[in-house]
Structure 1
Amino acid sequence: MIPCFGDHAANERTYLAWVRTAITVMAFGFLLERFDIFLAYASRAAGQPVPRLHVHASEVLGPLLLLFGALVVLLVTIRFDRNRRLIDSPEVRSYGRTLLERLMAPLLIVMAGFLAVYVARQLLAIG
């Protein structure tokens, strides 16, 4: 029997949820990096000339999201290991939020807002 198995399993589930989030952020970065290809295809399918798209923002933000996702994986791996050691430790400690948790939601909100404005501007350029 593994001591504190329920705590270890919860720690692992949390770790895997963070890894899935990081993979999603990286996939979002890749999609944003290639968004200009979709816009060119959509304008051709609509029978319109391909407008000059302003893709510089996506060329910058896409790789930043890829790096951010990789950083999330690194940080949650460190957090997972720290929590694993704390679960096994006989010493009682308080559990506090990490910097990653404090920054993730605001950063994702900013990225979502940027994408909404960016997509709207690009679609207006096509239509």
Structure 2
Amino acid sequence: MIRSYSDHAANERTFLAWLRTGVAVIAFGFLIDRFDLFVRTMAAAVSINPADRAQLEALSSHLGHGAGQGFVLVGIAFIIVATFRFVRTGYRLDDQKIHPPGMATELSLSVILAVLLLVATIPLVFPGLF
């Protein structure tokens, strides 16, 4: 039997939650990027009247493309950080020393994700800005 099995199982559940979050952030970034490409393609269609084309062009911006790529990169960072965190916590569970908790990585990733969400919503709130 593994010593402190419940702690190792909790570490693995936390790791899997981080992985799910990373994959979800990557999927959301991919969705934003592909939707922006779809809107640009629809705006370039020949059969659309000029008023509808202008409205579609207002929805599409380079900001959406950049935000999509940013979400993909942050999702990849989530997965990398989760892997390092899982391995480090596994070693610390087997160690007898008391280790201080660290939240710098989690806090910085949360701030980056919040900033990306704000950047992604700017075209929705202010459509004429870009």
1:67-105, Cα deviation, whole Å (9 max, x unpaired): 1211211111011000000101122322222x3211122
Q: Which moved more, 1:109-118 or 1:68-77?
A: 109-118
Q: Are 2:105 and 1:105 equivalent residues in the alignment? A: no
Output the CA distance in 1 between the equivalents of 2:71 and 2:117: 12
TM superposition shift of 1:12 = 0.8
User: Where does the alignment leave 5 or more consecutive residues of structure 1 unmatched?
Assistant: none
Instruction: Using structure 1 for the length normalisation, give the TM-score.
Output: 0.78
Instruction: Using structure 2 for the length normalisation, give the TM-score.
Output: 0.76
1:3-59, Cα deviation, whole Å (9 max, x unpaired): 111110111111111111111111111111022225876xx9xx8622224421112
Q: Out of 71, 81, 93, which is 1:65 matched to?
A: 71
Give every structure 1 segment of 4 or more consecutive aligned residues whose post-TM-superposition deviation is greater than 6 Å. Answer: none
Q: Are 2:81 and 1:75 equivalent residues in the alignment? A: yes
CA spacing shift, 1:84–1:96, aligned 2, 3 Å: same
Output the CA distance in 2 between the equivalents of 1:26 and 1:121: 25
Output the CA distance in 2 between the equivalents of 1:104 and 1:81: 18
Residue 23 of structure 1 aligns with an amino acid whose one-letter code is V
CA spacing shift, 1:119–1:40, aligned 2, 3 Å: farther
- Counterpart of 1:117 in structure 2 is 122
CA spacing shift, 1:121–1:31, aligned 2, 3 Å: farther
Output the CA distance in 2 between the equivalents of 1:84 and 1:77: 11
1:40–1:50 CA contact under 8 A, matched in 2:
no
Q: Percent identical across equivalent pairs?
A: 31
How many pairs are equivalent? 121
Output the CA distance in 1 between the equivalents of 2:112 and 2:124: 18
1:72–1:100 CA contact under 8 A, matched in 2:
no
2:67–2:120 CA contact under 8 A, matched in 1:
no
